[in-house]
Amino acid sequence: MEKTNFEKIEAAEKRKALIGKVVTYFFLSLWGLIVLFPFYWMILTSIKSYGSYNAEYVPKFFTLTPTLQNYSDAFTEVSLGRYFFNTIIFTVLTTAAMVVIITLAAFAFARLKFKGKNLVFTLFLSLMMIPNELVIITNFVTITNMDLRNSFMGLILPSITSVFYIYLLKENFEQIPEELYKAAKVDGTSDFKYLIRVMIPICQPTIVTITILKVIECWNSYVWPRLITDDETYYLVSNGIQEIRENGFGRENIPAMMAAVVVISLPLIILFLVFRKKIMAGVSRGGTKG
Amino acid sequence: MKVNKLKGWLYLLPAILFLGVFLVYPLIDVVIYSFEENYNFASQTYTGVGFYNFSYVLHDPYFLQALKNTFILVIITVPLSTGLALIISLGLSSIKKLQDLFQTVYFLPYVTNTLAVGLVFMILFKKTAYSDGLINLLINFFGGESVDFIEGPYWAKMFVLCFYTIWIVLPFKILILTSALASVNKDYYKAAKIDATPKWRVFTKITLPMISPMIFYLVITGFIGAFKAYSDSVALFGTNLNVAGMNTIVGYVYDMLYGNSGGYPSYASAAALILFVIVLTITCINLMVSKKSKISVN
Amino acid sequence: MKVTLEHLTKRFPNRNKKIKADVVAVNDFTFEIPDGILVGLLGPSGCGKSTALNLISGLETPTEGKIYFDDDDVTMLPPENRGIGLVFQNYALYPHLTVLQNIMFPLQNFKGDKKMTKLAMEEKAREAARLVQIDELLERKPSEMSGGQQQRVAIARALVKQPNVLLLDEPLSNLDARLRLQTREEIRRIQRETGVTTIFVTHDQEEAMSISDLIVVMKDGVLQQIGKPQNVYDDPENLFVAKFLGTPAINVFEGKIKYGCLFIGNENVMELACKKDLEKDVYIGIRPEGFILNLDGALSLELQNVEVMGRDTSVVSKHENALSGNIRSIINAEDWINSESKLVRFDLKPKKVFVFDKETEKRIYFDKK
């Protein structure tokens, strides 16, 4: 009797666990679908021809006659190529300049000794609390007065320093043992050479993470470019896609618009799939969107 | 020796220069702008100093509309997205197979261009001459009436905006909460299991207190982020948000600054400062609540 | 190269900001280190020995005093111009560079006519690696090596530029006991082979005694005694040095000089060659090997325990005037007679008995009869 009782308990427990598992996987998959569906839909729509898309009152979930016409339209009928190219230049220049500037600053805070260092660092930290929305007004006026509207300089200048990344990198630099610096000093290594040959290689993972996060930020930036450019030749992809939406193909050409969306989204998705672990670790260490 | 002391400043110089010009100076300047009355952008002159800009903004129906939109958005999306993220993270951390795949998929919206993917949401929800859109067909299938979510009634537009916002902010929250859950010492769960603690009790008495600092962090950053909502709205409803009635406070600031209705940096500054004060107040309240509840937990 | 320190002093502001007085890490050091020898800088932790090393290396500049390498004043010379090699306690190897790259690193900093070709640098590095016997491991990264191997790399890196002076900061303390013995022999051998003046810092007196030509004992930033290890052991100048050197440690008693004799409690343990009317409270230090078992001996101790360890026998006993709980005496195993007695009596070897002033803790010298 005893034994069968145990068996019953065991079977009931197993059933409960199984049901729990099925429910969990069901809801997780459901949310996965909600996340993925827009991506599927944009790819699907982008390979439907203009005619067939507009003929579908009830949209089809697949297409038997895929076409790349929309992609060629996206590059020829509107200046998607131009926006794309601009964004690459903007992203590369901004990220490169920022990495240089924050590395120098983080090195000064982490390694060099000078009067007022702690005070300046505290001031830097307090700058983290200033919201972008507050300073963008004056920056807009400043850039306008400097006659830098519709130029890469105007786009890049305000976003090439980040207090947060200086802080992140400084923390990382400080984890390098003091002895390494002393050893290098004894061997006659200059501060700058020590930074280049020892600190940067050791902290490379953090610098790569910062670079990737900045690239994502640059690629998606919308507000500042929108304020500072009204000449289409300097549009980035975000304002580009908005421009396409509002004045795009001369008619409501949704498949071509979706092709443009795919082209814009793809670089970051590829970047994410390649550096998945790094990006997720970096974001959980203190990145927030935007 | 003298050179050595200057060296530190030399390394800091670029950072200080850029932060000074584009962060510190603007901060002071924005306050000044907000008090300069009748500022003329072209001639850069003003007629007086006072609170007129604030009063103008606070009486501007567009601003009040933006204020209302923003508050609704905040009140709906912050609790909903945090709760949803918590449920999803709990689900994620309870499974072994496919965990990596789910995590990767869930994170995808983080790396997408808000403006670009917003267009996909728009076509999914939009009712056009050709088609009612996929979502409406779904509603029809369940016996409902078609609604134009993009150019239709206010509640429908607000629904899409909230939905898209949650879709966008969830990846970050899920990531933070799953790593918080993973960092809870497994021995607590083992001990609870041996004591036959019911699952719900394990959750409320062990898991929740352990990850509560992270939840508070998410709530605070969530509030701050949601108050600054803008590009999600542009993505769905286009740049002319005032006409669509879906403007946000940040959107109002930019519209005052530039565009068809722009050229008023004073009004923009006043609105931005009002936003700053709101966010600061909410954050302080949040911090106070979190401190109090910490004491009561102890 | 001869290293001379003259009135070397280093003060730091107190870390506790409420205390205005500076911390004196190194206080008025004056001594000379002859060319080509191995010197052990010895003292308990926090005694300022690492600061002294940093002053010699130039990583810190002294508050007062001078440092000479041979006849050149290097007090204010930056470290890179002093021609020193430095080995750190945790080795401070560059984690992202291979062993060969680590050893070559100092050579790549040479400028002007000292500049070397890549080939010459590599040849030099290999030579240094051979000297410390790690020439098989040149392509490895530091993280792929044991502590002992990392230590050798650190030494090779310090030696590769042929320094005038080699400085080692606690070189053995991160190694396990077996490796420590092996590595200290290795350091001795490398020093002999290169003939470079070497200063190493340690808190382990046994380590310092075993390989140094000269030891420098420090306490609280003050130089206590300098000399050959055996001389310092046999002839400590104060109570601290006597207590710090030797394992097992010296036994210390409270005692008295009276009637020209040395008293512990009521027992006259030794006659002294001094004035009969001198009366003084003193500390008496007796080395463990200073006891001779004698049934009619002058000093009686309360027997606690006897530990027989092969060649020697260690007798553990108690005395009410002893400062350090147990008294440990080492005697020849053959001399021990197992008895039920609770008491054990010893005579003392005069050369192993030191008398210190109770107030100053300075040694009082006597001719012992």
Q: Fold for C3-244, please state it.
A: Rossmann fold (3.40.50)
Instruction: Check residues B135 and A200 and name the one with the higher pLDDT.
Output: A200
Q: Name the phi and psi angles at A116, rounded to 5.
A: 85, 5
**Which chain A residues are Cβ-neighbours of B114 within 8 angstroms?**
220, 222, 238
Residue closest to A290 by CA, chosen among B178, B77, B112, B246: B112
Per-residue pLDDT averaged across B287-294, rounded?
76
Record: contact B230-A257, CB cut-off 8 A: no
Structure tokens at A159: 């976003």
For residues A115-143, give the mean pLDDT: 88
pLDDT tens profile B111-155? 999 998 999 999 888 887 777 788 888 888 888 888 888 888 999
Phi, psi dihedrals of residue C32, rounded to the nearest 5° = -125, 135
Query: For residue B7, is it within any domain?
Result: no
**Beta-bridge partner residues of C42:** C202, C217
Burial class (CB in 10 A: 0-12, 13-18, 19+), C177: exposed
A179/C contact by beta carbon, under 8 A: yes
* CA-based nearest residue to C349, from C266, C279, C251: C251
The answer to whether C282 and C356 have CB atoms below 8 angstroms apart is: yes
Whether the predicted model's global pTM rises above the 0.80 cut: yes
- Name residue A192's amino acid: F
Locate all alpha helices (DSSP H) within B114-153, ordered by sequence. Answer: 114-125, 134-141
ipTM, two decimals = 0.89
Looking at residue B2, what is its pLDDT?
A: 44
Q: How far is B298 from chain A (nearest CA, A)?
A: 28
Q: Which residue has better confidence, A223 or C341?
A: A223
Classify each residue of C88-116 as buried b or exposed e, where b means 16 or more C-beta atoms within 10 Å of its C-beta.
bbbbbbbebbbbbbbbbbbbbbeeeeeee
B104 CB burial (10 A radius; 0-12, 13-18, 19+): middle
C87 beta partners = C168
Q: What is the dihedral of CA C230, C236, C237, C238, to 10 degrees?
A: 150
To test the contact with chain A by mutation, choose from C86, C157, C161, C164 the residue with the greatest count of A C-beta atoms within 10 A, namely: C86
Strand C84-87 versus strand C251-258 pairing type: unpaired
Closest residue on chain B to A52 (Cα): B130
Chains that touch B (3 or more CB pairs under 8 A): A
Distance CA(A42)–CA(A59), nearest Å, equals 12
A222:B172 CB<8 A: no
| Gap between the Cα atoms of A49 and C178, Å rounded | 78
Q: How far is A208 from chain C (nearest CA, A)?
A: 16
Do A269 and B112 form a contact (C-beta atoms < 8 A)? yes
Half-sphere exposure of B222 (CA within 13 A, CB side): 29
pLDDT band at B294 (very low <50, low <70, confident <90, very high): low
CA A28 – CA B99 distance, rounded (Å): 10
- What residues of chain A, 102 to 141, have a C-beta less than 8 Å from chain C? none
Looking at residue B291, its pLDDT comes to 77
Domain ranges of chain C: 3-244, 251-368
Q: Say whether A187 and C89 touch across the interface (CB within 8 A).
A: no
Cβ contact A187–C105 (<8 Å): yes
In total, chain C counts a number of residues equal to 369
**C-alpha distance from C138 to closest chain A C-alpha (Å):** 19
Strand partners, B45: B40
Cβ-based contacts under 8 A for chains A and C: 54
The two structure tokens encoding residue A67: 């076409």
φ, ψ dihedrals at C7, nearest 5°? 45, 40
Mean pLDDT of chain B: 87
Are C283 and C362 a contacting pair, CB within 8 Å? Answer: no
Considering only the beta carbons, identify the residue of A35, A112, A166 that sits closest to B106. A35
Encode chain C (369 residues) as per-residue pLDDT tens digits. Answer: 899 999 999 998 877 777 777 888 899 999 899 999 999 999 998 888 889 999 999 888 899 999 999 999 999 988 888 889 999 888 889 999 999 999 999 888 888 778 888 999 999 999 999 988 888 899 999 999 988 899 999 999 999 988 999 999 988 888 888 888 888 888 999 999 999 999 999 998 988 998 899 999 999 889 999 999 999 999 999 999 999 998 889 999 999 888 888 888 888 888 887 777 788 899 999 999 999 888 888 888 888 888 887 778 888 888 888 887 788 998 887 777 666 778 888 889 989 999 999 888 999 887 654
Task: Quote the strand ranges of C109-213, DSSP E.
Answer: 165-169, 197-202
The answer to whether A70 touches A47, Cβ cutoff 8 Å, is: yes
CB contact under 8 Å between C106 and A180, yes or no, is no
What is the distance, to the nearest Å, from the Cα of residue A136 to the centroid of all Cα atoms in its chain?
20
CATH code, domain with B124: 1.10.3720.10
CB spacing of C59 vs A182 below 8 angstroms:
yes
Largest CA distance in chain A: 91
What does the block give as tokens for C359?
A: 């107030």
**pLDDT tens digits, A58-102:** 778 888 888 888 899 888 888 899 999 999 999 999 999 999 999
pLDDT at position A256 over 80: yes
Selecting from B110, B115, B128 the residue whose C-beta is nearest the C-beta of A289 gives: B110
What separation in angstroms does the CA of B248 have from each of A52, B62, B71, B72, C291? 37, 9, 9, 10, 93
Contacts of C84 in chain A (CB under 8 A): 186
- Contacting residues of C for A180, CB less than 8 Å apart: 92, 94
H or E stretch including A191?
helix A191-194
Among A184, A186, A202, select the one facing C95 at the smallest CB separation.
Answer: A202
The alpha carbon dihedral of A237, A239, A245, A247 has a sign of negative
Question: How many whole angstroms separate alpha carbon A24 and alpha carbon B99?
Answer: 12
**Which H or E run includes C282?**
strand C280-286
Q: Give the domain range for residue B284.
A: 54-297
CB-based contact B234:B241 (threshold 8 Å)? yes
Q: Residues of B with CB below 8 A from A268's CB?
A: 111-113
Which amino acid is it at B27?
Answer: L
Please give the interface size between A and B, counted as residue pairs whose CB atoms are below 8 Å apart: 256
**What residues of chain C lie within 8 A of the CB of A196, using their CB?**
none
SS3 of B168-190: HHHHHHHHHHHHHHHCCCHHHHH
Residues 6+ apart with CB under 8 A from A216: A268, A271, A279, B111
Backbone angles phi, psi at C20, to 5 degrees: -75, -35
Token representation of residue C249: 């440690």
The angle at the Cα of B222, spanning B217 to B225, to the nearest 5 degrees, equals 125
Q: Does residue B174 form part of some domain?
A: yes
Beta strand ranges found along chain A (DSSP E): none
Start-to-end Cα distance in chain B: 54
Q: How many residues does chain B have?
A: 298
For residue range C110-119, what is the model confidence (pLDDT) as tens digits? 887 788 889 9
| DSSP line for C229-275 | HHHHHHS-SBHHHHHHSSSSPPEEEEEEEETTEEEETTEEEEEEES-
End-to-end CA distance of chain C: 44
- Secondary-structure percent of chain A, ordered helix, strand, coil, rounded to 5: 75, 0, 25
